[in-house]
Structure 1
Amino acid sequence: MERKEFLKRGFSSLLGVAAIVPVIGACSNTSVEPTTTNTGTSTSTGSSNGSSSSNCTVTPSETEGPFPTKVPANFVRQDIRSDRTGVAFTMTITIKNSSSNCAGLSGAIVDIWHCDKDGYYSEYGGTGMQSVNFTTVDFLRGRQTTDANGLVTFTSIFPGWYSGRAPHIHVHIYNSAGKSLLVTQIAFPYDISNIVYTTAQSYGYTKGVQDTKNERDNVFSDSVANELGTVAGSISAGYTLTHTIVVSA
């Protein structure tokens, strides 16, 4: 089954997670349309959720499929690049607890994974879902534990895209005892993604403009307001994503 068809049918029926029903056009175009087309330093502001105790809605739950990390405890590492090349990318993610006035959640376990610049995931492949076989490698997957402020940081490369999905990062958060708290995803501002995908050919980004924007994506179309990361930087210097995820612990 092709990935795009999988997305249309709803990932969650395969993974035992509640299916996601897209609400096309739920977010206005102004939140994702490009505001710049140059290759210099640029910044896009994402979600403000979790910024205070009065703005502390639990981040929407999303599917972890179709390529979840098989044994995430094996990948306790801050640098998740392995052999993958691309535009430098740092992720700074803060986990906050809605049950504690949106204070940072210390000791939470945070797993992340995303595709490479060509749209491929490690640990999978050789099927209709992903034709290239990467079942024997484990790039772009990692686990960290939050500090006293609820913060984790990962070093990676700017993710690519694949047909039917807007660019995204998967995140699975557990408490310190290993209980699952939330599975979610992080969206990217379209203007930044557009710069990378159309001007970073020398870094290997050769697919061109993504075919699905956030407002047409069946994961983000009804929830991007609370799942959009803030991204700043440039192709030459690299980009930094900052994002807050709110859980109920």
Structure 2
Amino acid sequence: MDAYTSFAPFTAGCLLSPEQIAGPYFRNPKLIRRNISEGADGIPLVLRLTIVDAMTGEPVPDALVDIWHCNARGAYSGWSKVNPDVEVDSADIGAIARTDDDTYLRGAQFSDKSGIVRFTTIYPGFYAGRALHIHVAVRITSGNNYLEERHVAWVGQLYLPEVASRAVLCSRQYEGRSTVRLTNPEDFFYTTMGGDASTLNVHTLGRDSNEDGFFGQMTIGIDTFAASTQIKPEDFDKYTV
């Protein structure tokens, strides 16, 4: 164990992971890929998520897991021209008009037979009014294909441990902002929507420097028969590239 590790209280087969809002920057670029960075500048983050059935504790294979998050400066692809140092009023999908067709830091993977998906990305930065976080949506499919029947079972946000975030935000790519980030306990969504249970276990990849990057992991327990109220199937069709 090291100083960056934070343990989320999850017991397989016993706990449903808390849902959180999808936020205004959701879109569906239909990109099946492991590396979502597209060369974005930032500290590397290798992410491993394990999707399990919260009722049985069994892995959920062939779930389509989408993630999206902001870059080191707080900007989201598709909204790159929105000033991340100015707080936005709405958290609803589609509430803020897109400004571009960029797709950095977005992508999806199908879970393997062990329920695992892996992503290569960067440690997210922050935007005004929020703590550092990564968005996740899990769709249940009838096959390993975008065109198969599917429903959205779970939508959440993953948070980063405070100790790791403080170290990252001192790095060249993240510093020099005109706004102050919120810590996890200061974030409304973290405190009211189960942020403690949504904090990644994180450790450094190298011994000598944070610049080598981080590895983050979490087990997400979902109800495979549930229909999320945060993102509907038609939202994936409506908010596409």
What TM-score does the superposition give when structure 2 sets the normalisation length? 0.76
Cα deviation, 1:26-77, whole Å, max 9, x if unaligned, reads xxxxxxxxxxxxxxx743123031x333xx32111111111002x24x2110
How many residue pairs were aligned? 199
The answer to whether the aligner puts 1:141 opposite 2:106 as a matched pair is yes
- CA distance in 1: counterparts of 2:176 and 2:83, whole angstroms: 19
Secondary structure of the structure 2 residue equivalent to 1:226: helix
- CA distance in 2: counterparts of 1:52 and 1:248, whole angstroms: 12
Find the counterpart in structure 1 of residue 198 from structure 2.
Answer: 227
- CA distance in 1: counterparts of 2:223 and 2:51, whole angstroms: 10
Structure richer in helix, relative to its length = 1
Find the counterpart in structure 2 of residue 52 from structure 1.
Answer: 12
Cα deviation, 1:97-140, whole Å, max 9, x if unaligned, reads 013x2111111110000000000000124457788x85121100
Alignment of 1:1-249 (within 5 A): 42-49=3-10, 51-53=11-13, 56-69=14-27, 71-72=28-29, 74-99=30-55, 101-126=56-81, 135-177=100-142, 178-198=150-170, 200-201=171-172, 204-207=173-176, 211-222=181-192, 223-233=194-204, 234-249=209-224
The aligned amino acid for 2:51 is I
Secondary structure of the structure 1 residue equivalent to 2:23: coil
Indicate if the aligned counterparts of 2:34 and 2:118 stay in contact, CA closer than 8 A.
yes
TM-align CA RMSD: 2.1
- CA distance in 2: counterparts of 1:79 and 1:129, whole angstroms: 24
Indicate if the aligned counterparts of 2:69 and 2:106 stay in contact, CA closer than 8 A.
yes
- CA distance in 1: counterparts of 2:36 and 2:133, whole angstroms: 16
Instruction: Quote the sequence identity (%).
Output: 27
Indicate if the aligned counterparts of 1:197 and 1:207 stay in contact, CA closer than 8 A.
no
Structure 2 portions without partners, runs of 5+: 87-97, 143-149, 225-241
